[in-house]
């Protein structure tokens, strides 16, 4: 069975076992209408912060490099956000820096410190480590070409996510009550971003949302998921939840399963929408000022 196809049933099971997080099922149908009326699906990558060119190999390389370092939200201190990372890497590609796997394998923490205007720290070191590991994979197994990876996947979002999910630096499957729970956030977002940059991928409807800390935050603010008093207090006071803890796993699983229920409700209402569409809508809603100013959960992790 595909690793990605194991995500939803595992998250449904966690949601049914959860002690700290619950889904408000009764609110799902109305919320599906609300979010679809308020937000629009993302049709492509924002060219102001992403490096998307007429060269498919260069574009694919940018997407893979970006998603190799698209993590660390729990480390962010106000100076670093997704737009900073995407835009800084775009600038590097335009200047011929870190734009090929041969250069990725030489990446250093200092490179990301300079590109993102942040001090050299543990996160910039992790960025360099993960990009080096991706570069080694592409050089060793795909003759240095990211397009070769896409061709091996047959331009299937499901297969591409499954391939990348098996790479050490993209591992994202903690244990909960003795059962492995695959979230595969960054592996799935590789497939989704490739589709936005190089349209035509199959199986987009097989992907789930990308389990991070923004989507559950939006769902909490909008009353779709609720935290028990202890967990709510920890998040509201800025406490850091340990990666792989019961509470953190329940938050991420509830978000995935709740969005699946929202998608099903949307389909019943006549809307052809994927979980990826809903993820983008909810993620952008999270940057609306009234939601963005509220605290969301923090976890020091390379999974998101």
Domain CATH number, residue 118: 1.10.340.30
pLDDT of residue 283: 96
Q: Which of 142, 176, 203 is the last residue of a domain?
A: 203
**Selected residue with higher pLDDT from 2 and 201:** 201
Q: Kindly state whether residue 301 falls inside one of the protein's structural domains.
A: no
Question: Same domain, yes or no, for 72 and 187?
Answer: yes
User: Which residue is it, tokens 């695959």?
Assistant: 182
Q: Kindly state whether residue 299 falls inside one of the protein's structural domains.
A: no
Question: Same domain, yes or no, for 31 and 114?
Answer: no
Kindly state the tokens that stand for 230.
Answer: 């202890």
Asked if pLDDT for residue 179 goes beyond 80, the answer is yes
Question: Same domain, yes or no, for 18 and 118?
Answer: no
pLDDT of residue 172: 97
Kindly state the tokens that stand for 175.
Answer: 């244990």
pLDDT of residue 41: 87
Q: Kindly state whether residue 271 falls inside one of the protein's structural domains.
A: yes
Longest dimension (CA), the chain: 52
Q: Which domain, by its residues, includes 268?
A: 4-43+207-292
Q: Which of 203, 236, 267 is the last residue of a domain?
A: 203
Question: Same domain, yes or no, for 236 and 150?
Answer: no
Domain count, the chain: 2
State the average pLDDT over residues 258-263: 98
Q: Which backbone phi and psi does 131 adopt, to 5 degrees? A: -70, -40
Local confidence band at 224 (pLDDT 50, 70, 90 cut-offs): very high
Question: Same domain, yes or no, for 109 and 84?
Answer: yes
The answer to whether 116 and 124 are in contact (CB under 8 A) is yes
Asked if pLDDT for residue 1 goes beyond 80, the answer is no
Question: Same domain, yes or no, for 219 and 159?
Answer: no
pLDDT tens digits, residue range 80-131? 999 999 999 999 999 999 999 999 999 999 999 999 999 999 999 999 999 9
Q: Kindly state whether residue 51 falls inside one of the protein's structural domains.
A: no
Question: Same domain, yes or no, for 8 and 147?
Answer: no
Residue 96 backbone zone (phi > 0: left; psi -120 to 50: alpha; other: beta): left
pLDDT of residue 268: 97
Local confidence band at 40 (pLDDT 50, 70, 90 cut-offs): confident
Question: Same domain, yes or no, for 81 and 181?
Answer: yes
The answer to whether 181 and 10 are in contact (CB under 8 A) is yes
Question: Same domain, yes or no, for 224 and 199?
Answer: no
Q: Which of 160, 188, 203 is the last residue of a domain?
A: 203
Asked if pLDDT for residue 79 goes beyond 80, the answer is no
Question: Same domain, yes or no, for 74 and 17?
Answer: no
Local confidence band at 76 (pLDDT 50, 70, 90 cut-offs): confident
Q: Kindly state whether residue 38 falls inside one of the protein's structural domains.
A: yes
Question: Strand pairing partners for 52?
Answer: none
Mean of all residue pLDDT scores within the chain: 97
Nearest C-alpha neighbor of 138 from the set 163, 107, 101: 101
Question: Same domain, yes or no, for 211 and 272?
Answer: yes
The HSE-up count of residue 165 (CA atoms within 13 Å, CB side) is: 26
Question: Same domain, yes or no, for 96 and 184?
Answer: yes
């Amino acid at each position: 069975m595909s690793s990605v196809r194991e995500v939803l049933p595992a998250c449904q099971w966690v949601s049914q076992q959860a002690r700290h997080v619950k889904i408000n099922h009764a609110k799902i149908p109305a919320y599906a209408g609300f979010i679809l009326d308020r937000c629009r699906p993302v049709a492509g990558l924002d060219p102001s912060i992403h490096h998307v060119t007429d060269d498919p190999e260069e574009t694919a390389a940018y997407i893979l490099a970006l998603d190799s370092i698209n993590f660390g939200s729990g480390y962010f201190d106000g100076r670093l956000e997704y737009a900073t990372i995407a835009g800084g890497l775009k600038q590097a590609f335009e200047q011929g820096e870190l734009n090929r796997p041969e250069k990725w394998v030489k990446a250093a923490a200092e490179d990301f410190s300079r590109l993102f205007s942040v001090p050299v720290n543990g996160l910039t070191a992790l960025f360099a480590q993960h990009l080096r590991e991706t570069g080694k994979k592409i050089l060793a197994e795909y003759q240095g070409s990211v397009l070769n990876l896409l061709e091996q996947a047959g331009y299937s979002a499901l297969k591409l996510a499954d391939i990348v999910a098996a790479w050490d630096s993209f591992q994202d499957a903690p244990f909960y009550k003795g059962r492995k729970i695959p979230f595969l956030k960054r592996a799935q977002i590789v497939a989704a971003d490739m589709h936005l940059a190089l349209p035509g991928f199959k199986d987009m409807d097989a992907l789930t949302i990308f389990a991070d800390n923004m989507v559950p935050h939006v769902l909490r603010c909008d009353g779709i998921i609720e935290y028990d008093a202890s967990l709510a207090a920890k998040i509201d006071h800025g406490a850091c939840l340990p990666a792989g803890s019961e509470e953190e796993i329940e938050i991420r699983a509830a978000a995935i399963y709740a969005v699946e229920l929202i998608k099903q409700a949307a389909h019943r209402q006549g809307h052809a929408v994927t979980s990826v569409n809903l993820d983008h809508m909810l993620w952008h809603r999270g940057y609306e000022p009234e939601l963005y100013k509220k605290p969301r959960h923090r976890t020091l992790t390379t999974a998101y």
